[in-house]
Each structure stands twice: as C-alpha cells, then as structure tokens.
Amino acid sequence: MAGKDRVEEHPRLRRVKIADLRPTQGSLGLREVMRKVASWSALDVQDERRFLGDHMIPVVIGPKDRHYLIDNHHLTRALHEAGLTEVLVRPVAFLHRLEADEFWHVMDCHNWLYLYDGTGRRIGVDDLPKAVADMPDNPFRSLAGDVRRTGGFAKDVTPYSEFLWADFLRRRMKASRLARDYQAAVDEALVLAHSARARHLPGWCGVEG
C-alpha cells in the first residue's frame, strides 16, 4: 500500500479499496475533510494504527457485493486525500441478496441515505457519487461543523443532524459570504444558531426569545 497505508487485518473486518466504497450521501464539507487531513498528518505511525482501530468504517454490503458507506464519509475522504488507498471496514448489514429497488428502500428506512447534493437540492439514488473522491463540496456542512465546535449547538444522535443545521444556515446566508470572509461567516452563523429561529433543530442550545 502507498503512503500511510498501515492497516492491519482483523478477522471481523474487511480490507477494501477506498475507491470501491460507495457513498450514501450526496455531498460533504471539504473544509471538514481538510481539517481531518491535518489531524491525520500530525500522527506518528503508532497513533495512526490506534486511530484507525478506534474509527472503523461502517458499511452495508449491497447488491453485487458493493460496500456502501453509512458513516465517516469525511474521514474516509480525508484518508484518501492523505494518500491511503485501502481501509478496514466493519459490515453492519448484509443486503447483497436484495434486488436494487428493495435494497434502496431498506437503506432509506434505516436512515442510511441522505439524498441531497452540495446545494441542498434533493437527488435520486442514481445521482449519488460513485466514490468518495467524487463527492462535491457542501460549504454549509463545513460551516455547521465549525459552528458546533464553537459552541453553537450540541452534538446530537439525530441522523445527519449537521446537514440539517447546514440547510438552516444556507437558507439564511449567502454562499458568497463564506467565500469572502469565512471566520466572519462563522461568527454570523453562531448568532443564528443561538437564536430562537433554530430551536427546532437537534442540539439547539440557545435561549428562547
């Protein structure tokens, strides 16, 4: 394996090429990805192995024995950007015997799909990127992550909660604002996150107005 590909085998895990992993969401935040790349690059070999052991990639085995990511899209893309070509994955469901339409129905029922692109537009399963390297940027997803880390809202178990926050912010801020002065955009988004307008969102920790 090339670069920092120091992944060890495990009897309950599978070694899979990152290029073969199928995304189940239509976008990700590239700022989030690059933050994870920076964190990975700061690790030594021993810490890399420990980190990968603590962050095993969950997948569903689908038709044609394809491996579908159901979490850790940002981490997987970051490892790809850092030079890894393979990762160990942890299958959580085996749906490879299902026909395609039933497979996608089951995936949807389990909240294992987020069918929206980088602009928040609804897409179909045929529009999903075929590889993590092809996933488009959703700048508001990165903004939501930075707002949460700044104390804008609490981490929540609601599926795709940070994408819900991203959509909330997208409706109230222009993308050009993020491109022009990102830190100022974070400050503005922090005020929005604490406002009563966001009280319907998971993890809200503002004050009722």
At 126-151, the pLDDT tens digits run 999 999 999 999 999 999 999 999 99
Rounded CA separation 61/69 (Å): 9
Structure-block tokens of residue 18: 């990152």
Confidence of residue 72 (pLDDT cuts 50, 70, 90): very high
The burial class, CB within 10 Å (0-12 / 13-18 / 19+), for 58 is middle
Can you give the residue ranges of every domain in the chain? 14-134, 139-198
pTM for this structure?
0.91
DSSP assignments along 106-160, one per residue: HHHHTT--B-B-TTS-B--GGGS-SSGGGPPB-HHHHHHHHHHHTTSB----STT
What CATH number should be reported for the domain whose range is 14-134? 3.90.1530.10
Which pLDDT tens digit goes with each residue over 95-123? 999 999 999 999 999 999 999 999 999 99
Confidence of residue 209 (pLDDT cuts 50, 70, 90): low
Q: What contacts 97, CB < 8 A, 6 or more positions away?
A: none
Overall fold of domain 139-198: Helicase, Ruva Protein; domain 3 (1.10.8)
Give yes or no for a contact between 135 and 81, defined as CB atoms under 8 angstroms apart.
Answer: no
